[in-house]
Amino acid sequence: MSILIVEDVDKHVKLIKLNRPEALNALNLELRKNLAEVFTEFSNNDDIRAIVITGNEKAFVAGADLKELLEVSGPFDTLLNDIRKYWKPIKECSKPIISAVNGFALGGGCELAMHTDIIVAGENAKFGQPEIKVGIIPGAGGTQRLTRVVGKYKAMRLLLTGDFITGREAYEMGLVSIVVPDDEVLNTALDFAKKISKLPLLSVKFIKELVNTSYNAPLETLLALEEKSFQLLFSTEDQKEGMRAFIEKRKPEYKGR
């Protein structure tokens, strides 16, 4: 069974379904690679005018696959470099992307949603950046994009506590575009995609390009700093303890080193 399912909604709209239900769609290296390949292909396909990405009723993406990350030995580990390069095709995708979020959108899942252009969330979706609970920090823009979207104080609440918020709370914070009943999420996202796909192609392209340029222009230095900090934390004892405790379903014992 494929961990990534791609469906044709119509001639100009593609639907991407994340399909690792046994792991709540956690981002392992294989899934990251498949996503990068698909977004690269879609960016270069002139027939595609909008993309919807979703998970299932339990999870959009519950975060990174900690079983993989537990094996990372330090900031220059090959796995971390692979993770970084696989985010790039999503960030640079020229087509409008709508995320349809039910269930968990945590850590890398919240960051993946924030890489999209419109976020449709279910009432009972759960957003958060809980990386601090396993001894690291967000590594794909979470500290910067979240702060720019919701403001310092709301972002600090989520980043420093690792708490989750519902789809309704995320909407009230300004993190998502629209919140709807859980069973209407995907259809709402598809409706947006179909509507956008019927609008002037160059106008859509320029809007996305201009908005993202203005949004990201001062961001690159901060993202680079975040990335280096994220990598360095993989050489700490607390990172190992946090991830191991999570996998072993016990409370971690942090030592501050």
Active-site annotation, residues: 64, 108, 111, 131
Structure pTM?
A: 0.88
**Six-digit token pair at 27?**
């981002």
Structural domains present in the chain: 4-185+193-197 (3.90.226.10)
Helices (DSSP H) in the chain: which residue ranges?
Answer: 29-43, 66-69, 78-91, 108-114, 142-150, 152-161, 167-173, 185-197, 201-216, 219-232, 237-248
| Cα–Cα nearest to 243, from 62, 69, 32, 61 | 69
pLDDT in tens, the chain (257 residues): 799 999 999 999 999 999 999 999 999 999 999 999 999 999 999 999 999 999 999 999 999 988 888 888 888 777 887 888 999 999 999 999 999 999 999 999 999 999 999 999 999 999 999 999 999 999 898 999 999 999 999 999 999 999 999 999 999 999 999 999 999 999 999 999 999 998 888 888 888 887 877 665 566 777 777 788 888 888 888 888 888 998 999 998 888 77
Q: How far apart are CA 36 and CA 169, in angstroms?
A: 30
CA distance 109 to 77: 22
Distance CA 243, CA 135 (A): 7
**Separation between Cα atoms, residue 39 and residue 44, nearest integer Å:** 9
